[in-house]
Amino acid sequence: MRKVYSRIETIAGNVISVKAEGVRYGELATVNTRYGTSLAEVIRMRDDEVSLQVYAGGRGISTGDEVRFMGHPMQVSFSDNLLGRVFNGSGRPRDNGPELTEGLIEIGGPSVNPAKRIIPRNMIRTGIPMIDLFNTLVESQKLPIFSVSGEPYNELLARIAMQAEVDIIILGGIGLKYDDYLFFKDSLEEGGALSRTIFFVHTASDPVVEALLVPDISLAVAEKFALKGKRVLVLLTDMTNFADAMKEIAITQEQVPSNRGYPGDLYSQLASRYEKAVDFEGAGSITILGVTTMPGDDVTHPVPDNTGYITEGQYYLRNGRIEPFGSLSRLKQLVNDSTRDDHRALMDGMIKLYANYKESQEKKSMGFRMSEWDDKLLKYGEIFERTLMDLSVNIPLEEALDRGWSILADCFNSQETGLKSELIKQFWPKKDEESGEATA
Amino acid sequence: MTKGNVVAINGNMVSVNVDGDVSLNEVGYILVEDKRLKAEVIRIRGSQAELQVFEITRGIAVGDPVEFTKELLAVELGPGLLTTIVDGLQNPLPELAEKSGFFLERGVYLQALPREKKWHFTPTVSVGDSVSRGDQLGHVPEGIFEHWIMVPFGLFDTYTVETIASEGDYTLEETIATVKDSAGATHELSMVFEWPVKRAIDAFPERLRPEEPMVTKVRLIDTFLPVARGGTYCIPGPFGAGKTVLQQITSRNAEVDIVIIAACGERAGEVVETLREFPELTDPRTGKSLMERTVIICNTSSMPVAAREASVYTAVTIAEYYRQMGLDVLLLADSTSRWAQAMREMSGRLEEIPGEEAFPAYLESVIAAFYERAGLVRLNNGKTGSVTIGGTVSPAGGNFEEPVTQATLKVVGAFHGLSRARSDARKYPAIDPLDSWSKYAGTVDHEMTEYARSILFRGDEVGQMMKVVGEEGTALDDFILYLKSDFLDAVYLQQNAFDPVDASVGTERQRHIFDLVFTVLGSKIKTDSKEQARNFFYEFRQKFIDYNSAEWESEAFEKLEKEMREMLSRVSSELEPRAQEAYRNRGDYA
């Protein structure tokens, strides 16, 4: 069955074609070149002509190189031995560990039956108040981090990876700078989270086709762990690179581009990955956090735009903070009623006041006279930004709520906050410690 | 039966060499290993047919056999459709889950309607009667409805009833009648038949002009941007502006008999909310579970693209079927952009010359043909039935100048454009009251709503001006105008979906409270200062919001209204001339 073909008919970009028989669509093959062996996948067939996409790229392939069909589609090994290991986009070790071949599973499997999905109900704690308190992350949610390049999105992901209350972290790096890859590795090692983490890393210098495999391979492994009852968090950085890889490949294959050069199926392609986020009834769950860098801070760019239509909210990372206005976790309502009685009210109340602060700030910058109320708001905004919004703040939700109350008490009278009197009675800090800024 | 063999595979498109006749849109099955994958013929060239496959194509090989069915892509029509949850090809999803577990295994097709269940049939024709397509033969109870058993729409002759089953319990496939056509051949009829989804059901003598409003209980829609029964409307909007929430609210509250929800290429999570919540919610009209009037067609974004394209047709065909029983049906398609994108993907694979943004050149005519399947019709027996279609559009970048939005706007009767600015300001429903339009008649007198709209426009202008010159530079009259438009927005256009009373406002209440709103808008209001005017409106607004959440005609409701009327009489004694005229000419809808 495993025939070897030693005559490559065409080589164009990353795509080669051979005349072969008995091949199945999506099947994997190996291409032996003098620079090493690469995997290739069947992407088109017409009569006996089979086109393959070479994962390592077309450079250096000779028409006389050997193509050997493997009789199965792309697979990845699945076992607990994956934990703590680093692989590249085609599932080969990047660390110096042994190649894994046990328990092979196919990637890019079928979609979950909507009738088997359940309404999400568990919060994931991250220790970051801007997430836990204001835009709670929920198990099985899919959320992108919209960011301009230059923002500390990888630092944020690394912190989430270290602190999130989940069983397994899968980090999929797409077009990652080598430095960033090392940063992730080092910080997770230092944070002691390496043993529950699996890396699938495609760096910027790796062949572009492998970039396409990273989300699929990460999510296929995540799915298996979730079915075994694990709560898995998949971190993907950066999905814009994934879309760009898709664009590059589509254009070289002479597909008709739709919007700014991206292929017409960009939405479906992104959706089929993000929709892998799921909470299995009676088993585990997959939660996806992906970074989407916005070229030129433009949210209407096709990648963030299509992503926004797919995901359940978004975190905007701007000026080193998770922006409270554009950011939204659509599923937070499902969990934040059962955390603490004051959670919802405090969340809304603090953001409303922060919006007022922004207005006062604008008035101030335009040279209008500041009232007493404006001064209070300006003080509030400053303390809020410094003690809660800053990404380095690392406290559990309950402490963040308490801190929220103490910030309010520092700046306002209780009736100025517009919060319900019952909550004020229960949570408003007692004035016995008259010591100025209690929180700073 | 025509057979063939696969010769080429490209994504979800497969080319097949055929040995006989094939027709466009015919269904074929590709035999791969032990699976049969459903596919539809989308182009024929000589002996080669191109098929779009409704499943993942991985594993297909050149040479694999293909069997053609001679049938076009069709859905099953018969009792039992209501309450079902199916995918774009009418596979029941809960049954699929029982069979294959968590995942949608490919190549598994189940019958949409249960075969064992017995239905209590009551005949309405007698032997010797003459019948034709769409005529009622009898009926069975389906939940709260009387489900008509009709002469299949594919029988184009006039027939004489030879036998008809007597009243009793029958399964779907048992023969309940035999009829003889004009050539003398007999046909056995059961309670179920198939109809090709891409052909509109036209077994009625006449289409009528949609005139009656379809009440959604959303004030902004019913009063200002009404939708007619049998009409069409679209909801374009950027992501996060609340398209899906608005559709969900409509699917709960709309005053129609049956709601068909087509979740087309959107998030699975949203469908799950409907799936899990509807059975628990009661329909205020019938007191039964909302699910009893609902069919969900669900082809979410990660399910195969070709089936997504089929799903809107499946939905509209089921809607048309219930229309044939004299029912009012509402079809909510979310989102038509995903459907258009599915067409774009196939067009690309077929290497057709692309139109704007790579959408196929036939995009407009296909969208127009889809919305034209809505309509109010007069049936054979004189009754009327309607299909109303509401489609969401997800324009790239929230920019309405893109091909799908524009093609849709050409054919719909109402446009409910959602605005990011309004949703960011948490003003829900985030329909832009200035840009949106409707060509239908609403629940409230047109002249009065036009007057209110003019206040909205002028208030907006004053608001723009105030941004430049500040409050100090604005005349008192203009400032009051601005406050009026702000008041209209706050108490009437915005509606709190979480408040049990405010969430759905029926026609009678809308007319009643609009009368008060109109009086405020039309009054010549005299105050000494802007501060006084602002205080008046803020206080009035607060009262009105409480009034909005007070139970209809309750004590609190009456009391608040009285207070407000008194408050108004202190600052104003007469209406503006134009308002007076509009009020005098208002239609009598009591």
ipTM of the complex: 0.87
Distances (CA, A) of B554 to B432, B491, B549, B570: 32, 19, 11, 25
Instruction: Quote the CA–CA distance of B539 and B531 in Å, as a whole number.
Output: 12
Report the C-alpha gap between A10 and A53 in whole angstroms.
12
- To the nearest whole Å, the CA of B180 is away from the closest chain A CA by 44
Chain A / chain B CB contacts < 8 angstroms: 160
The model's pTM? 0.92
* Range list of β-strands (E), B54-154: 65-72, 74-77, 85-86, 118-123, 130-132, 136-142, 145-150
Is A220 within 8 Å of A76 (Cβ atoms)? Answer: yes
Which tokens in the block code for residue A355? Answer: 């919006």
Q: Is A275 on the interface with B (CB under 8 A)?
A: yes
Among B7, B15, B358, whose Cβ lies nearest the Cβ of A256? B358
Residue B403, CA distances (Å) to B356, B357, B364, B392, B470 in order:
7, 8, 8, 14, 40
- Is the bond leading into B572 cis (omega within 30 degrees of zero)? no
In this complex, which of B10, B59, B305 lies closest to A44 when CB atoms are compared? B10
Looking at the partner chain, which of A259, A263, A312 has a beta carbon nearest the beta carbon of B396? Answer: A259
Q: How many CB atoms lie within 10 A of CB B247?
A: 23
Residue type, B349: R
Residues of chain A neighbouring B13 (CB-CB closer than 8 A): none
Q: Of A67, A63, A79, A76, which Cα lies nearest the Cα of A42?
A: A67
pLDDT band per the 50, 70, 90 thresholds, residue B421:
confident
Q: How many angstroms separate the Cα of B341 from the Cα of each of A308, B375, B394?
A: 16, 26, 11
User: Number of helices (H) and strands (E), helices first, in chain A?
Assistant: 11, 23
Distance from CA of A429 to the nearest CA of B (A): 30
Determine the pLDDT at residue B589: 54
CA distance B50 to B98: 33
pLDDT in the model for residue A360? 87
Closest listed residue to residue B216, CA positions, set B183, B253, B177:
B253
| Cβ-defined contact of B61 to A113 (cutoff 8 Å) | no
Domain boundaries A4-73, corresponding CATH code: 2.40.10.170
Q: In this predicted structure, what is the pLDDT of residue A437? A: 42
For residue B386, name the pLDDT band (cuts at 50, 70, 90): very high
B377 in Cβ contact with B321 (< 8 Å): no
Tell me whether residues A117 and B268 touch, CB distance under 8 A. Answer: yes
Residues A45 and A47: their CA atoms lie apart, in Å, by 7
pLDDT > 70: percent of chain B: 99
Check B302 against A276: CB less than 8 A apart: yes
pLDDT > 90? residue B45? yes
Burial class (CB in 10 A: 0-12, 13-18, 19+), B528: exposed
Neighbours of B134 (CB within 10 A): 21
Cβ–Cβ below 8 Å for A264 and B10: no
Nearest C-alpha in B relative to A280 = B102
Burial bucket for residue B103 (CB in 10 Å: 0-12, 13-18, 19+): middle
Mean pLDDT value across chain B: 93
Kindly report the length of chain A: 440
Residue of A nearest to B343 (CA): A264
Any chain A CB within 8 A of the CB of B85? yes
Distance in Å, alpha carbon of B497 to nearest chain A alpha carbon:
14
Task: Round the CA-based radius of gyration of chain A to a whole number and report it.
Answer: 25
Buried b (16+ CB within 10 A) or exposed e, A278-287: bbbeeebbbb
Which residue ranges does chain A devote to CATH 2.40.10.170?
A: 4-73
Q: Is the dihedral of CA B390, B395, B401, B402 positive or negative?
A: negative
Task: Please give the Cα distance from B197 to B17 (Å, whole number).
Answer: 25
**pLDDT for res A436:** 43
- B-chain residues near A264 (CB < 8 A): 341, 344-345, 348, 358
User: Could you tell me which chain A residue has the CA closest to the CA of B354?
Assistant: A256
Please check whether residue A282 touches B, CB under 8 A: no
Whole-number Å distance between alpha carbons of A332 and A139 = 10
φ and ψ at residue A379, rounded to 5 degrees: -65, -45
DSSP-derived 3-state class of residue A20? coil
Q: Are A239 and A303 in contact (CB under 8 A)?
A: yes
CATH fold for the domain made of B83-97+206-438: Rossmann fold (3.40.50)
Query: Is the CB of residue B59 less than 8 Å away from at least one CB of chain A?
Result: yes
The C-alpha atoms of residue A329 and residue A138 are separated, in whole angstroms, by: 8
- B-facing residues of A in 320-359 (CB < 8 A) are 325, 328, 331
CA angle A133-A135-A141, nearest 5°? Answer: 125
With CA atoms as reference, report the closest residue to B578 among B424, B403, B454: B454
Mean pLDDT of B378-388: 96
Q: Are strands A197-203 and A168-176 parallel, antiparallel or unpaired?
A: parallel
Residue A433 · residue A410 · CB < 8 Å? no
The domain ranges of chain B are: 3-72, 83-97+206-438, 118-191, 446-584
Specify the fold of A77-334: Rossmann fold (3.40.50)
Distances (CA, A) of B26 to A30, A51, B17, B196: 38, 29, 15, 10
| Inter-chain CB proximity B265 and A257 less than 8 Å | no
Residue with tokens 């407000």: B564
CB B282 within 8 A of CB B288: yes
- The reply to whether residue A111 touches residue B300, judged by beta carbons under 8 angstroms, is yes
**Residue A120 one-letter amino acid:** P
The phi and psi torsions of B367 (rounded to 5 degrees) equal: -65, -45
A366 touches B at CB < 8 Å: no
CA B536 – CA B524 distance, rounded (Å): 14
* Chain A residues with beta carbon closer than 8 angstroms to that of B357: 258-259
**C-alpha to C-alpha distances, B172 to B152, B177, B253, nearest whole angstrom:** 14, 12, 32
Per-residue model confidence (pLDDT) at position A421: 82
Angstrom distances, CA of residue B29 to CA of A251, B9, B68, B311, B417: 32, 15, 6, 19, 42
Chain-centre distance for alpha carbon A344: 26
Ranges A407-416, B150-159, B308-317: which has the least confidence: A407-416
> Chain centroid to CA A49: how far?
38
With contact defined as beta carbons under 8 Å apart, do B78 and B43 qualify?
Answer: no
The CATH class of the B446-584 domain is mainly alpha
> Is A24 within 8 Å of B102 when comparing Cβ atoms?
no
Joined tokens for residue A281: 């009834």
Nearest CB to B62: which of A48, A275, A308? A48
The percent of residues above 90 in pLDDT, for chain B, comes to: 78
CB-based contact, B382 to chain A, within 8 Å: no
Distance CA A121, CA A401 (A): 21
Task: Provide CATH code, domain B118-191.
Answer: 2.40.50.100
Whether A47 and chain B come into contact, CB under 8 Å, resolves to: yes
DSSP B365-412: HHHHHHHTT-EEEE-TTS-EEEEEEEEEE--GGG-TTSHHHHHHHHH-
Query: Is the Cβ–Cβ distance between B54 and B310 less than 8 Å?
Result: yes
Q: What is the pLDDT of residue B590?
A: 42
Q: Which CATH architecture has domain B3-72?
A: Beta Barrel (2.40)
A113/B76 Cα distance (integer angstroms): 21
- State how far residue B340 is from chain A, nearest Cα, in angstroms: 10
Report helix, strand or coil for A121: coil
Q: What stretches in chain A show pLDDT beneath 50?
A: 433-440
Query: Exposed e or buried b for every residue in A147-184, given b needs 16+ CB within 10 A?
Result: bbeebebbbbbbbbbbbbebebbbbbbbbbeeebbeeb
Q: Across the interface, which of B58, B101, B302 has its CB nearest the CB of A272?
A: B302
Read off the tokens for A313. 């909210």
